[in-house]
Structure 1
Amino acid sequence: MSDEYGLKRHFGGAGARRLGDLVHAVHPEFDLEGYVAEAEVRVQGLELKDRVRVLAEGLRARLPASYPEAVAVLVALLGDEITEGKGMFNAGWHLMPVARFVEEYGLDHPTVSLDALYEITRRHTGEFAIRPFVEQHHDLTMKRVADWAHSPSPNVRRLASEGIRPRLPWARTLTGFVADPRPVLDVLEVLRSDPSPYVRTSVANNLNDIARDNPDLVLATARRWSEESPTPQTAWTVRHGLRTLVKKGDQEALALLGATGGDHARIPQLTLTPDELTMGQTVTLAFDLHNTDDRPHTLTVDYVVHHVRKGGRTLPKVFKLTTVTLAAGERRSLRKQHAVREITTRTYYPGEHGVDIQVNGLVRASASFTLRPL
C-alpha cells in the first residue's frame, strides 16, 4: 500500500474485522460483530480519512467510557515494534483508527495520550494524531518531542521530526511553525546526522517544508550544519532539504551544494523527439551541455515542463535530470526520456507544452512538444 487511493478500500468491513479481532482478544466484552456491521454501512461513499474516522468512532462507542481505560485497551493490542522504514502504509496500516482515536478523544488527557502515541508510532505512526496536541498542549508536547529525538527507536525519532512538520501532507498546517519554525529547527538539530535513513528522510522533508516559507532561515541553518557536522549523513539531509530551493533556482542553495558556473553553461540546441505525440507516449529530450569557462564546474541540470491546464493556461513542473561535473571547455551530450501519462496528481490536456532545460537554476534552452487529443 502506497497511497490514499489504494489504502481507503481496506477501511471497511474487512478492516474493521481485522482491528476488531485484536481488540476482542484483549477486551472480550467488545462487540465485534456490531463493529464490523456498522463499519460496512457507514464507510460507503467516503474517502480515506473519513473511513478511518468511522472506525475510530466505532471503537469509542464500544470501549470503556473512561478514556484512559479505553486507550489502555488499544495500547495492549499493538504487538511488536515494526522494523525501521515499514511505516503506516504496510505493516501498520490497520492501526490508523487507533491513532485517530487518540487524536479525536484524547485532548483532555494529554499525558496519557502522548504515552499512547509513543507506543503507537513504534507500530504505525503518530504524525497526524500529535498535531492537535502541539497546538493545544504545546509546551508539554514539545518537551516530549525533544525527548523522543533521543530515543533508541528510529520510529520514535522519526515522529519527533515528522509530527512537527509545518506543512505535512494530508494533515492540518501548523501555522505557528509556519510563522516561526525555530522550535522545529531546535529538534532537527539533534537529528540532522541521524544514522537512520528513515529518520533523515523526515528531517529533510521537514527542512524542505520550512524552506517554502522561511528560505533565508533554512539556508543559514543548512550552511551551519554543513560546517559544524561535515558527515555524509548531514550532507544528504541538507541536499534533500534544499531540493525545492534548488528547483526554484536559488543561487545560494545551489552554491551551498557545490553547484557553480551556471552562467558559463551553454546549450546550443534542445531537441524533442517526437515533437508531436499522444497520451501514453514518451518524448526524448536531447542536448549538448557545454562548459565555456576555463575552470571545471559542477552543474545541476533540471528540466521544466509547462503543462497545459484546462482553459489553456500553463503550469510549470520541475523534474530532476542530473548533476554533472564538466572540465574546462568540456561538452557532454545528455538525454532524458519523459513519459506523458496521467497520474493521480496530474491531468494532461492537449496543446503545446513548453520544455526548458535549467542549469544551476538558469534557463539555458527551450523547446516544445504538442500533445494531440486521442
Structure 2
Amino acid sequence: MAEPLKSHFGPEIPRRIAGMISAVFRRFDTNAFLAEVLNGYEALDLTPRGRQIAKALRRHLPDDYAEAAEILIASLGPKLDRTEALGMAPFLYLPHVFFVAEYGLDHFEISMQAQYELTQRFTAEFSIRPFLVRYPEQTLDHLERWTKDSSPHVRRLVSEGTRPRLPWAPRLRAFQKEPRPVLALLELLKDDPELYVRRSVANNLNDIGKDHPALLVETVRRWMTDATEERRRLIRHALRSAIKRGEPGALGVLGFGKKVNVAIRNATIRPKRPRTGGSVTIGFEVVNKGSRRQRVLVDFRVHFVKADGKTSPKVFKLKTIELAPKETLPLGKTISLTEMTTRKHYPGTHRVEVMLNGAVNLLGSFELVKRIDYK
C-alpha cells in the first residue's frame, strides 16, 4: 500500500518553516509557534496540517498582513530550477499559499507579489482563485503580464490557475459561463517553449470544452492553421475528453470525422462472469471492408455498474490504426476489476462497446460477481 502523503509532511516541516522565518524575523517565537502547530498535528491529514501551520503563522507573525507577507517572502528558499519530477519537496510551502488565500484577500498587491514568488517554489494555482473571483479584472491584468515572464512556473500559473474545473479546487463559475477571458491568456501561451506550460494550456482547454464544446472546436480549428508539431500535440491533449465523448467536431479536427467502412468480428469477453478483484479481457477484430486504406480511431467503453444499480460509462483509449484494403487487425485489452481510489466495482451486468471514429458498436457484456473470501 502506498505511503500516505501526510507522512511526507511530518513535524519536521513546521520546525523547518520556523527556522526559515526566525532567520529573517528575530522576534519570531519559535517555541510558542511549534507548541500550537504540533497540538493534535499527528491526527491530521496533509491539507489540514498545512492549514494548521498557516493559522499559527497568522498568530505569530505581525498583525499587519503586509508586514507578515514581506517576512514570509523574505524567508523563502531557492526557486525551482526545473519543471519535472519535483516530488514532495515543494510541499514545504503549502502553508504559505493557504496563508495568502485565507488572510490576504484584502491586500491585493502584496498577495500577488507573494504568489508570484511562491509559484516559483511550489504552486499558487489554488491560492490565485479567490483573487480571480473577487478581483477578476485586476488579477487577469497581472496574469496577462505574467504570460511573458521568464519563469515557466509563473507562466504555468497563468494557465493552471484559471482552469474553470481545476481538480480539488472550487470551480471558477464565472469562467465556466464565459471562458473568453481565459482563452485570451491561453492564446498567448499556446506556443510556449516549455512542455510543462503547454500541457497546462491543453488541460485548461479540456476544461473549457466540457462546458463549451463548440467553442473548444472553434478555438483548436483556428490553432491548427500553420501549427507546429508541438502545438498539434497540445491540441490532441486538449481534445481527449471530447474524443472520449465521441463529439463529431473534435473528431473532425483530428481527421476522424468520416464514417469508416469497417466491421467488428469475433468479439470475445472472458470470463463472462468475472469476480470483483479480478480482471476481464476483451478482444475483437477490426476488418476493412473497403477497397481503400482507412485510418480509424479505436476506443472502447465499459458501462460500469454504480452503487445505486445504474451504470456510468468509462472510455478506455486503445489506438489509432491504419488498415489496408480487406485487412483484418486483432485488438484487445485487459481491464482490472480491483478496487481503485477513482473507481469502485459493484456486481451486475456491464455493457461493453467499441467506438470507431466515435461511432458506437456493441461488443457484448459481462456479469460481475462479488468475490466471497472464505476464512
* Interval of TM-score (by shorter of Structure 1 and Structure 2): over 0.9
**Among residues 249, 252, 256, which one is paired with 2:253 in the alignment?**
256
**Among residues 51, 54, 58, which one is paired with 1:53 in the alignment?**
51
Asked if the contact 2:249–2:257 (Cα under 8 Å) also holds between the matched residues in 1, the reply is: no
Asked if the contact 1:82–1:91 (Cα under 8 Å) also holds between the matched residues in 2, the reply is: no
**Among residues 313, 320, 326, which one is paired with 1:323 in the alignment?**
320
Asked if the contact 2:297–2:321 (Cα under 8 Å) also holds between the matched residues in 1, the reply is: yes
The ranges of structure 1 where at least 4 consecutive aligned residues each deviate by more than 6 angstroms after the TM superposition are none
Shift of 1:144: 0.9
Q: Distance in 1 between matches of 2:92 and 2:85?
A: 11
Q: Distance in 2 between matches of 1:179 and 1:294?
A: 47
SS at match of 2:221: helix
Structure 1 residues 67-123: Cα deviation after superposition (integer angstroms, max 9, x where no partner): 111111111222221133248752311101101111111111111111111110000
**Among residues 360, 364, 367, which one is paired with 2:357 in the alignment?**
360
- Range with bigger deviation, 297-306 or 58-67: 297-306
- Range with bigger deviation, 275-284 or 212-221: 275-284
Q: Distance in 1 between matches of 2:182 and 2:340?
A: 33
Q: Distance in 1 between matches of 2:184 and 2:363?
A: 42
Q: Give the equivalent residue in structure 2 for 1:72.
A: 70
**Among residues 90, 93, 96, which one is paired with 2:91 in the alignment?**
93
Q: Give the equivalent residue in structure 1 for 2:106.
A: 108
Q: Give the equivalent residue in structure 2 for 1:32.
A: 30
Q: Does 1:269 align with 2:269?
A: no
Structure 1 residues 152-207: Cα deviation after superposition (integer angstroms, max 9, x where no partner): 11111100100111111111111110111001000001111222111111101100
Shift of 1:52: 2.0
Q: Distance in 2 between matches of 1:344 and 1:18?
A: 32
Q: Distance in 2 between matches of 1:101 and 1:89?
A: 22
Amino acid paired to 1:357: V
Q: Distance in 1 between matches of 2:368 and 2:307?
A: 13
Asked if the contact 1:102–1:113 (Cα under 8 Å) also holds between the matched residues in 2, the reply is: yes
Asked if the contact 1:87–1:124 (Cα under 8 Å) also holds between the matched residues in 2, the reply is: no
Residues 303, 36 of structure 1: CA spacing in aligned structure 2 closer, same or farther, 3 A cutoff? farther
Structure 2 unaligned residues grouped into runs of 5+: none
Q: Does 1:306 align with 2:293?
A: no
Asked if the contact 1:181–1:210 (Cα under 8 Å) also holds between the matched residues in 2, the reply is: yes
**Among residues 293, 297, 300, which one is paired with 1:296 in the alignment?**
293
Percent pairwise identity: 42
Q: Give the equivalent residue in structure 1 for 2:275.
A: 278
Shift of 1:25: 2.5
Q: Give the equivalent residue in structure 1 for 2:165.
A: 167
Q: Give the equivalent residue in structure 2 for 1:342.
A: 339
Shift of 1:12: 5.2
Asked if the contact 2:158–2:185 (Cα under 8 Å) also holds between the matched residues in 1, the reply is: yes
SS at match of 1:125: coil
Shift of 1:8: 3.5
Shift of 1:45: 5.1
Asked if the contact 1:133–1:141 (Cα under 8 Å) also holds between the matched residues in 2, the reply is: yes
Amino acid paired to 2:250: A
Q: Distance in 2 between matches of 1:334 and 1:166?
A: 36
TM-score by length of 1: 0.93
Q: Give the equivalent residue in structure 1 for 2:21.
A: 23
- Range with bigger deviation, 176-185 or 106-115: 106-115
Q: Distance in 1 between matches of 2:206 and 2:123?
A: 20
- Range with bigger deviation, 255-264 or 304-313: 255-264
Q: Distance in 2 between matches of 1:160 and 1:245?
A: 23
SS at match of 1:64: coil
Amino acid paired to 1:81: K
Asked if the contact 1:261–1:297 (Cα under 8 Å) also holds between the matched residues in 2, the reply is: no
Shift of 1:237: 1.0
Residues 307, 356 of structure 1: CA spacing in aligned structure 2 closer, same or farther, 3 A cutoff? same
Structure 1 residues 248-287: Cα deviation after superposition (integer angstroms, max 9, x where no partner): 1011111111225444232123211222222332222111
Which aligned pairs between 1:184-263 and structure 2 lie closer than 5 A?
184-227=182-225, 229-263=226-260
Residues 34, 86 of structure 1: CA spacing in aligned structure 2 closer, same or farther, 3 A cutoff? farther
Q: Distance in 2 between matches of 1:12 and 1:80?
A: 21
Residues 83, 91 of structure 1: CA spacing in aligned structure 2 closer, same or farther, 3 A cutoff? farther
Considering only aligned residues, what root-mean-square deviation do their CA atoms show, in Å?
A: 2.0
Corresponding residue pairs, total: 370
**Among residues 72, 81, 84, which one is paired with 1:83 in the alignment?**
81
Q: Distance in 2 between matches of 1:102 and 1:340?
A: 42
Residues 299, 33 of structure 1: CA spacing in aligned structure 2 closer, same or farther, 3 A cutoff? farther
Asked if the contact 1:260–1:297 (Cα under 8 Å) also holds between the matched residues in 2, the reply is: no
- Range with bigger deviation, 300-309 or 15-24: 15-24
Amino acid paired to 2:351: G
